[in-house]
Amino acid sequence: MVRERKIGQFTVSPIGLGAMVLSMRSDGRPIPENPAATIHAALDAGITLIDTADIYAPTWDTMGHNERIIGEALRTYDGDTSDVVVCTKAGITRLEGERWGRNGTREYLRERALLAVEALGVEQLDVFYLHRPDWSILYGQSIQALAELRTEGLVKEVGISNASAEEIRIALDVLGDGGLAAVQNEFSPWFHHTSRLEMELCAALGITFVAYAPFGGLSGSARSLDRRFPAIRRAAGELGISPQRVTLAWELSLGDHVIPIPGASRPESITDSAKALTDDIPQAMLDAITEEVF
C-alpha cells in the first residue's frame, strides 16, 4: 500500500484525524477532558493530517474551539510537527440559540479565515474548505472568494465539502487546473450512494477525495460495521484486526486519491485506526467487501 498521499502541495499520511468529536458530538456522549491526548496519539501513530472546522465547538458562542485545541496540542507536542497539515472549513453559520445556516459570501469567508488563523496560531491556513454550498448566492462566487484568499496568502490550498459533481466542475473552472486541492464528502460502507460518483470524478480529475465519517458517523455505525457487513466481519476475524481497520484499508484501496478521516475522541480509537496505514489486506477480501457494499 502507498504510505503517503497528496493533498494539493502537501504530502500527508493516507489517513487523517477527524477532530470534530473532540469538541462536539451528536450522540450524547461528553467531549473528552483531555483532547490533546487523542491528537498526540494520532501524531505518535504517524498521522500528519488533521481535519477541523470553525463550527466544531460545544456551543454557538464557542466557535473555533476545535481549531484552538488543535493549535494548542500541536504547540505542546514533544515531537516534530513541521509536516502536519491542518485543514479547516467555514461557510456554515451557528448563531445565538443554536440557529444554523450558511454563508458563503466573500466577507464572511474572509472573516472566518482570519479567525481560524488566530485560533490555530498560524500565519496561513494549510487547506481551507467551503463547508457547504450557500445556495443563496452562485456557487462560483464562494469559490472565487476562496481563490482570492489564496491570492492574498491567507490560505495555501482550497477545498470544497459536501459538493456535487456539478459543483466540483464549477470549482475547478474558477480555480483552474490543479487549483482545487480536495473534495471532502461523506463516504463509508453505509453511505456511498451519492458520494461514490464524486469519488470517481475526483480520480478522473486528479483531485484528492477526503472521505468524512468513514465509519458512518456517530450514531453507532462505527460499532456495528461488523454486524451489518459480513465481509468486513470475516476479514477482521481472519486477520485478527478490528472491523474499523478493515474498513479504512478497504476505503484506501478504492484509489490513491482517497484519504479517510476517522473521528476519534479516545486515543485508543485513533491508535487502532492508524494501524490501517500498514495493513495489507488480501485483494480477495477487499473485493468481497466491494461486492457487498456496492
Ligand X SMILES: NC(=O)c1ccc[n+]([C@@H]2O[C@H](COP(=O)([O-])OP(=O)(O)OC[C@H]3O[C@@H](n4cnc5c(N)ncnc54)[C@H](OP(=O)(O)O)[C@@H]3O)[C@@H](O)[C@H]2O)c1
Could you list the active site residues?
56
Tell me the backbone φ, ψ of residue 20, rounded to 5 degrees: -50, -45
- The Cα 273–Cα 248 span in angstroms is 7
Residue of 48, 142, 164, 273 that binds ligand X (CB under 6 A): 273
Helices 195-205 + 165-175 axis angle, to 10:
30
Asked whether 142 and 108 are in contact (CB, 8 A), the reply is no
Q: Which stretch binds ligand X (CB under 6 A): 99-107, 115-123, 172-180, 217-225?
A: 217-225
State the residue number with the nearest CB to ligand X.
Answer: 263
Q: Which residue lies nearer to ligand X by CB, 80 or 222?
A: 222
Helix (H, G, I), strand (E, B) or coil at 219: coil
Residues 6 or more apart in contact with residue 108 via CB below 8 angstroms: 90, 91, 93
| 259 DSSP β-pair partners | 210
As measured in angstroms, the least distance from the Cβ of 211 to ligand X is 8
Q: Per CB under 6 A, does 265 bind ligand X?
A: yes
Binding of residue 208 to ligand X (CB under 6 A): no
Residue 162 makes contact with ligand X by CB under 6 A: yes
Q: Tell me if 20 contacts ligand X by CB under 6 A.
A: yes
Q: Using CA atoms, how far apart are residues 63 and 71, in angstroms rounded to an integer?
A: 14
Q: Judged by CB under 6 A, does residue 13 bind ligand X? A: no
Indicate which single residue of 5, 242, 252, 254 sits in contact with ligand X (rule: CB under 6 A).
Answer: 242
What is the rounded distance in angstroms from the CA atom of residue 100 to the CA atom of residue 95? Answer: 6
Least distance from ligand X to the Cβ atom of residue 227, Å: 13
Contact status: 161 vs ligand X (CB under 6 A): yes
Q: Among residues 131 and 192, whose Cβ is nearest to ligand X?
A: 131
Give the residue, chosen from 64, 133, 189, 263, that forms a contact with ligand X under the rule CB under 6 A.
Answer: 263
> Contact 71/120 with Cβ under 8 angstroms?
yes
Q: Please tell me whether residue 91 binds ligand X under the rule CB under 6 A.
A: no
55 binds ligand X (CB under 6 A): no
Asked if residue 93 binds ligand X (CB under 6 A), the reply is no
User: What's the order of all strands across the beta sheet hosting 258-261?
Assistant: 17-18, 49-51, 85-90, 125-130, 155-161, 182-186, 208-212, 258-261
Q: Is 90 in the site for ligand X (CB under 6 A)?
A: no
Distance in angstroms (rounded) separating the CA atoms of residues 283 and 249: 11
Is the CB of 182 or the CB of 288 nearer to ligand X?
182
- CA dist 5 and 227 (Å) reads 31
For position 272 contacting ligand X by CB under 6 A, the verdict is yes
Q: Does 217 bind ligand X (CB under 6 A)?
A: yes
Binding residues for ligand X, rule: CB under 6 A, are 18-21, 51, 131, 161-162, 184, 212-218, 222, 242, 244, 261-266, 269, 272-273
